[in-house]
């Protein structure tokens, strides 16, 4: 598996912990994240990571910003991306089982680093359930990408 990884300045404290988790599992990492506390815009990080996933250069993506909210919103603007913000075990499991999420967004602030490591592991280990019901719903999500207002 190959994973594109990105963090903004607010995700810097989680950066090495999550990279260690990925690499410790033997996962090849495309590191597109910020390496200092200098302010960067999370939509730019989300774009780089999600373009790598959408283009097939990476199998999945991992994103970290302060709350995880902004970066997940930005990620979901990229065609082919299904990004789930995971702050507990249930969201980590269900984003994979039912939504086949190919990108995870995580909190960089106000959250225990070891909990993020645990949730990332759960997300990586959880397979997609598949089946007509979930495939149909993912198809409907994909069709929303064509909506132009």
Q: How far apart are CA 16 and CA 7, in angstroms?
A: 10
Is 9 among the catalytic positions? no
Which is catalytic among the residues 65, 83, 86, 134? 65
Q: How far apart are CA 86 and CA 106, in angstroms?
A: 6
Distance spanning both ends of the chain, measured CA to CA? 36
Strand partners for 2 = 28
Which is catalytic among the residues 9, 50, 86, 98? 98
Q: Are 61 and 53 in contact (CB under 8 A)?
A: yes
Is 65 among the catalytic positions? yes
Contacts of 25 (CB under 8 A, 6+ apart): 121, 124
Strand partners for 84 = 104
User: What residues act catalytically?
Assistant: 65, 98
């Amino acid at each position: 598996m190959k994973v594109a990884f990105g963090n903004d300045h607010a995700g810097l404290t989680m950066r090495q912990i999550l990279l260690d988790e990925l690499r410790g599992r033997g996962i090849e990492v495309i590191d597109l994240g910020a390496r200092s506390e200098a302010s960067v815009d999370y939509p730019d990080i989300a774009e780089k990571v999600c373009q790598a996933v959408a283009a097939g250069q990476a199998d999945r993506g991992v994103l970290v910003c302060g709350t995880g909210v902004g970066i997940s919103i930005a990620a979901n603007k990229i065609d082919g991306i299904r990004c789930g913000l995971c702050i507990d075990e249930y969201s980590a499991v269900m984003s994979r089982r039912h939504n086949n999420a190919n990108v995870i967004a995580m909190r960089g602030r106000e959250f225990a680093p070891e909990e993020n490591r645990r949730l990332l592991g759960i997300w990586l280990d959880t397979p997609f359930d598949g089946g007509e019901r979930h495939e149909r719903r993912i198809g409907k999500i994909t069709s929303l990408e064509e909506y132009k207002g």
